Structure 1
């Protein structure tokens, strides 16, 4: 036998062994599954359901309850009498097939039994649940019936003993109670006939009806109180008060109050219809709307009463306030007229004061009109109160503004004094600059310095002339003082530069003379002196000699300059 043939034979033998081992293993697994299913079949307990059936049979069920019971009893009997023997036989067949290693047949039987057993268990569980619900329904119905009957009797007694509290709604309430009494009889009949499912439905309806009735009774009671007592009494009170107020010269803006009362009385009649039909939701909305409108009428009356008190109180105060404001307006205008003769009022103070005075006069006229309407009995006091509040607020603002204007113009005298003092100081400062330059005994002064000096002198003279006028503009004067201050500062700076440069030229030339033999120094001294004595350009002359000296003796000019300023600072 060749090697390939040997390998093939060995492979076939191994394959057969593997298949045989697999068959044996699967056969063992099927055997265990069969034993498990047999055990589950033996564990099925029918006794509890049979006990439920016995108890339900004793209840003499009828109607839907009987139909439900019959349906599920058939399900139970099918499981017990038909499916159980069939499943037992199938397991016996499976056990026999498995003993002959008929794997496929055994597996088919095991799967079928497993599926049908699961369905049978579910049927038994559902049957027990339905039967328990039927048994429980009877007990619950009896308990609920007693509870609802007690609620009904209590509620019926309350309604009938307090019938006056519900007014025209009483007839409908009695009809509701009669309907519920009929439902209670229906429940008793259904229970006695064994139709507990239908009895449960009626009990549920009864519970809802009682709950609804329990909810609407307080609403109806409150509505009857409002419609019979509160609203009519309030409308009567408002009518009487309104007529009394008209006689007492009150007037009211907006719609006529008596017309509104008439419309509200019509609304009360409509609410009665809602009450009769037990339209509780709309009845509540209607009464709430009526209540709000009645509150609105009370507010209108109270608003005018309060407004009249305010008007009576504020009238005398406003008379005094107008008198004071008119006096202040006159005083301010006279004061501004007087000041305007000496000062130009550049911010429109006088026109503004006249405008404020005119506004006070107009408000005084409005106030007089209100007083006349009050005296004639034609005034709406709430409108007059609004006028008074507006006038009072504006008078306070006007008085404040008048005081501000008065305070501002009071400062003009002080501003003039300060301006004159400042101008005197500038004149003295310029005079000191002149004397300082004169003491320096310079050969001459730069043309631009002389021109600028003359500009400053002229500015001071012109402003002095302006200050001596009969009527001056202090704002313009203040602006010119600022410019003069800047020019005087510049003049001081240029003066200091001229005098310092001239002095340093002299000191530097004196020091540089010791190097006169140096051509650079000799030439620089000659040029610097020409600039000093002929051009009067003292700063340029200093730059000329200082530059040459630094070339010959570095640092020399810096020492001269430092010593000079140190000495002058002392």
Structure 2
């Protein structure tokens, strides 16, 4: 019984699996049949009918026969064969012969792919032929119209094109030959070949139109404008030479000859209507002419600058020479009173050397002006550089002279600063005296002695001959730092002492009430008399806070209020 049930289950499973697989192949067969119908419905015949409206000769006739033959083969042979293979696939699926069904479907796919490929090729070629005929007809209308206009304009205005006229006529005739060739190809039904001719004609007509537009202007430049500019250049060169300008370095005659040759080459190219090379050649010629004009103009400006500025430069040389001598004399005087550093002493030497070199350069320039063998442009550059160097020397002289003068200012400033330090020490003594302090702690006494010693060092260094201001400034900085520190310390001790005294006085009211407080106050007073003001303040504050908490804060507020009122 179990064996029978197992067998039935296996049969059922096989049946279900077979049914699913067969259904899959049915679906694939349906898809292939739909693809076949889609190919059959393509408008190949309709597109081929359009070609019949063209000239059915030559290339078009050959292509049409090939298309028709391929299409007939597809319809009568290849598609029916596909139908047979699709039917066979269905039978194989019905009989559960899935391997044969798979192979048959693969053959159908390959056949449909090849048929689709051939149909695409036919349609593409059809579109090319029909499209070429339409585009050719449209574009050739524009080409022929442009040809007629150019031909008419050339005949009516032949004088505008000069030496290029004959070449332009040749180009128009070549266009006419191509137009006739296009018509022959079209009459023969060779539309694709005609398409190539149309593309060439479109490009050539565009190029020809550009040539006819540019030739008259280029002809005017070649035969009139540029030769006239070259003649003006020759005249200007000759006139400037007679006026004494040195122009040999420009090699102007050689360059003018090269320009004339370049214009001749441009005319030869223009005769052949080679517009691009003519434009390039003429632009180069115009640039060279402009450069030569600039060079001649530079010589004129150079002469003008020299005539205008050489006297100013000479006057500046004389003024700076006098100033240099004064500066050297003043340096020697200052050396007797002040100790100058080596780098300061090097400055007058360097300025003397630079100045002497400029004097020689100026004398050499004067000699060149007398010889009249050097171009003014070169002399202008040399004179400008001399003037610039003189300006630098003048600035250096001014800075060094100010440095010498500042030494005396620094000395006076140092004396004023050290007097201020002495006044500040007197102020410290006055503050201590007015505070009724018993004395100052040892660290303040030490600062006071150091400040006196440093002030003495400043006075000694100020009295030395020659005076070393760097050393004076060093001693002065040390003295100012010490005095400032002493002043701050003194103010701090005075404030602490006065507050300690206030707290002790306040605590005296409780002296009889507490023997401990009395003992602490005696210790605070002893510290006060020993100049230990901070210790006295801490001792007295601790004692009074035990009896009256918050008393110290109130005393401080009263003290600060009184200090504020005094200020």
Q: Within the alignment, does 1:333 sit opposite 2:328 as a pair?
A: yes
* Counterparts of 2:401 and 2:21, CA distance in 1: 122
User: What residue in structure 1 maps to residue 197 of structure 2?
Assistant: 202
Q: Within the alignment, does 1:188 sit opposite 2:183 as a pair?
A: yes
Q: Cα deviation per residue 1:160-203 (whole Å; 9 max; x = unaligned)?
A: 54455555444443332222221122222223333333322222
Q: Within the alignment, does 1:382 sit opposite 2:377 as a pair?
A: yes
* Counterparts of 1:210 and 1:53, CA distance in 2: 30
* Counterparts of 1:48 and 1:149, CA distance in 2: 33
Q: Within the alignment, does 1:258 sit opposite 2:253 as a pair?
A: yes
Q: Cα deviation per residue 1:386-443 (whole Å; 9 max; x = unaligned)?
A: 2333233333333333333333333344444454556677789999999999xxxxxx
* Counterparts of 1:83 and 1:491, CA distance in 2: 125
User: What residue in structure 2 maps to residue 62 of structure 1?
Assistant: 57
Q: How many angstroms does 1:311 deviate by? A: 2.5
TM-score (norm 1): 0.67
User: What residue in structure 1 maps to residue 80 of structure 2?
Assistant: 87
* Counterparts of 1:308 and 1:139, CA distance in 2: 73
SS state at 1:341 partner = helix
Asked if the contact 1:165–1:225 (Cα under 8 Å) also holds between the matched residues in 2, the reply is no
Q: How many angstroms does 1:262 deviate by? A: 1.9
Cα distance change on mapping 1:241 and 1:340 into 2, 3 Å: same
* Counterparts of 1:3 and 1:143, CA distance in 2: 87
User: What residue in structure 2 maps to residue 409 of structure 1?
Assistant: 404
* Counterparts of 1:366 and 1:419, CA distance in 2: 45
- Relative to structure 2, which stretch is displaced further, 244-253 or 106-115? 106-115
* Counterparts of 1:465 and 1:23, CA distance in 2: 125
Q: Within the alignment, does 1:242 sit opposite 2:237 as a pair?
A: yes
User: What residue in structure 1 maps to residue 144 of structure 2?
Assistant: 149
User: What residue in structure 2 maps to residue 342 of structure 1?
Assistant: 337
* Counterparts of 2:490 and 2:36, CA distance in 1: 130
Asked if the contact 1:343–1:473 (Cα under 8 Å) also holds between the matched residues in 2, the reply is yes
Q: Within the alignment, does 1:312 sit opposite 2:307 as a pair?
A: yes
Cα distance change on mapping 1:362 and 1:55 into 2, 3 Å: closer
Residue from 249, 264, 281 that aligns with 1:286: 281
Asked if the contact 2:139–2:198 (Cα under 8 Å) also holds between the matched residues in 1, the reply is yes
Cα distance change on mapping 1:20 and 1:274 into 2, 3 Å: closer
Cα distance change on mapping 1:73 and 1:362 into 2, 3 Å: same
Q: How many angstroms does 1:349 deviate by? A: 4.9
* Counterparts of 1:137 and 1:275, CA distance in 2: 37
Cα distance change on mapping 1:362 and 1:5 into 2, 3 Å: closer
Larger Rg, first or second structure (1 or 2): 1
TM-score (norm 2): 0.67
- Relative to structure 2, which stretch is displaced further, 107-116 or 404-413? 107-116
Residue from 35, 45, 48 that aligns with 2:46: 48
* Counterparts of 2:251 and 2:463, CA distance in 1: 73
* Structure 2 alignment gaps of length 5 or more: 433-442, 492-499, 501-518, 547-551
Q: Cα deviation per residue 1:476-518 (whole Å; 9 max; x = unaligned)?
A: 333344455567789999999xxxxxxx9xxxxxxxxxxxxxx
Asked if the contact 1:169–1:277 (Cα under 8 Å) also holds between the matched residues in 2, the reply is yes
Q: Within the alignment, does 1:367 sit opposite 2:362 as a pair?
A: yes
Q: Within the alignment, does 1:224 sit opposite 2:219 as a pair?
A: yes
SS state at 2:53 partner = helix
Q: Within the alignment, does 1:174 sit opposite 2:169 as a pair?
A: yes
Cα distance change on mapping 1:350 and 1:68 into 2, 3 Å: same
Q: How many angstroms does 1:300 deviate by? A: 0.8
Q: Cα deviation per residue 1:25-67 (whole Å; 9 max; x = unaligned)?
A: 98999899989979997x78887367446535xx3x3332222
Asked if the contact 1:453–1:491 (Cα under 8 Å) also holds between the matched residues in 2, the reply is yes
SS state at 1:249 partner = coil
Asked if the contact 2:85–2:108 (Cα under 8 Å) also holds between the matched residues in 1, the reply is no
SS state at 2:337 partner = coil
Cα distance change on mapping 1:132 and 1:253 into 2, 3 Å: same
Q: Within the alignment, does 1:395 sit opposite 2:390 as a pair?
A: yes
Q: Cα deviation per residue 1:237-275 (whole Å; 9 max; x = unaligned)?
A: 212112211222222484412122222323333444444
Asked if the contact 1:267–1:290 (Cα under 8 Å) also holds between the matched residues in 2, the reply is yes
Residue from 470, 478, 482 that aligns with 1:475: 470
Q: How many angstroms does 1:287 deviate by? A: 2.9
Cα distance change on mapping 1:305 and 1:162 into 2, 3 Å: farther
User: What residue in structure 1 maps to residue 351 of structure 2?
Assistant: 356
Q: Cα deviation per residue 1:115-167 (whole Å; 9 max; x = unaligned)?
A: 76786677667646645654554444333333212212222334454455555
Q: How many angstroms does 1:381 deviate by? A: 2.3
* Counterparts of 1:239 and 1:203, CA distance in 2: 52
Cα distance change on mapping 1:64 and 1:470 into 2, 3 Å: same
Q: How many angstroms does 1:303 deviate by? A: 1.6
